[in-house]
Amino acid sequence: MTAPRRILLVDADAFFVAVARQEDPEGAGRATLLIVGGRPGSRGVVCSASYECRAYGVRSAMPISRALALCPDAMCVPVPRGACSARSREIQGVLARFSPVVQASSIDEWYCDLGGTEALYQHEPLRVTAHRIREAVFEATGLNVSIGGGTSRLVAKMAVEVAKPKPGSGADGVHCVDPGAEAQFLSRFALADLPMVGPRLAEKLARMGLERVHDAQGWSEEALVSRLGDRAGRWLAQRVHGIDESIVTPRDRQKQVSREDTFARDINDDEVLERELLRLAVRVSADLRRQALRARTVAVKVKDTAFRSRTAQRTLSSFIESEKSVLKAARPLLRQLRRKQKAPLRLLGIALSHFDDEPGAGERTATQLGLFGAELPPVAAGSSADSGAPAQEPTESPKDRALTRALDRIRDRYGSGAILPASLVDPAQDTGPRVEE
């Protein structure tokens, strides 16, 4: 008989808030009401907020101005990005001491598969092991984590929400669901709480009289298939009973490298926007090279003053890594977006994907997943995103790449501003403060 799977989801509690408090103990560390995401008066959005702020209605992705209107006494600080990355690596290092397989789901979430470790931990209950992991993470990093456990990733994901020690919850940071109790545990949730049940599906289920997981558990798989179709019906029938065969893998393949800036003031000048695009190209290409990657797909994202986002992308016939090549591929995309709708912009971004370590990356065409959360058809290699004319694709020779890496070494030694394109040097042409997204 196969032993039940032992899956944990480790979630760092209010991660960005906790790290911000560690980095500034006399400032953010003393603030009960704390918002992480930008300075007061900035155009940024909330990255995270303390539980006390959330009680006022402050939520992630909310504009800073709106968050401070709801909670005017809150302290607001930028995201300590470097420190967050370092703490994330430290937590993952601790988890690797307990679990043979650790998969980072995000900067503050990790799945662990403890299958086959029963004898190693003297067959103790999974929740006991989870508590020891939680204590080890705190001892090593000073950060608290919540841990959900069960026989599948789905159950672990739902269990960690119950484990979080929110004010008044009585939770102690760990909640593990015993094998065989999955359906009973999930019955407490709304269907909309299940991962991958979006607003449209939730509305359709509500019209069927299904709002809670308990409601759907009373339907047979055949009945769900008859109303939702074969794929969605079978998927939902399995999920409401806690069945999820997805595995924990050591490392998720990186999907994209991206940079975005929210401007201190709206920008409608094309020359200024292209200069900001160059600034982003310098940073995102450096991120790419730092990870020893090259990319074939380039995307540009804009967001106007009404918070409407639009994205354009193209897939090249060869891989690129330099800021010059990234800019050459991105500039026509920005012009395309501006030509279709010329409105003042509050945000500009570049994303790079389709890396040269991916299966099939050497093929000339590929189907791309939507970037920045939107699904878009790729622009075929050899076509132009800016007009109907043949594309002038960026090309990189070994000499070009050697020069780029020489510049990286100088910047690593003397700072990111040691060598910049000339148009970014003049402070008189600077648009002002930006919030890096």
Query: What is the three-state SS of 233-279?
Result: HHHHHHHCCCCCCCCCCCCCCCCEEEEEEEEEEEECCHHHHHHHHHH
Going by their DSSP bridges, the two strands 295-304 and 345-355 should be labelled as: antiparallel
CA distance 148 to 186: 13
- For residue 352, the one-letter residue type is L
Reduced to 3 states (helix: H, G, I; strand: E, B; else coil), residue 413 is helix
State the CB neighbour count (10 A cutoff) for residue 419: 14
Note if 109 is an active site residue. yes
- The torsion region of residue 265 among left (phi > 0), alpha (psi -120 to 50) and beta comes to beta
Tokens of 16: 């960005």
Q: Within 13 A of 121's CA, how many CA atoms are on the CB side?
A: 21
The residues, ordered by sequence, that sit 6+ positions from 414 with a Cβ below 8 Å of its Cβ are none
In the chain, % helix, strand, coil (3-state, to 5) comes to: 40, 20, 40
State the residue for tokens 């005017």.
72
How far is it, in rounded angstroms, from Cα 144 to Cα 50?
Answer: 13
Cα distance between the two ends of the chain? 49
- Kindly report the backbone phi and psi dihedral angles of residue 389, in degrees, each rounded to the nearest multiple of 5, phi listed first: -75, 155
- Residues in CB range of 307: below 8 A, 6 or more apart: 346
On whether the CB atoms of residues 331 and 348 are closer than 8 A, the answer is no
Q: How far apart are CA 42 and CA 68, in angstroms?
A: 11
Rounded to whole angstroms, the Cα distance separating 365 from 420 reads 33
Those residues whose C-beta lies under 8 Å from the C-beta of residue 284, and which sit 6 or more positions away, are 257, 258, 259, 326, 350, 351, 352
* Active-site annotation holder among 52, 109, 245, 375: 109
Integer-rounded Cα Rg, in Å, for the chain is 24
Structure tokens at 276: 């900001």
Q: Where in the sequence numbering do the catalytic residues fall? A: 109
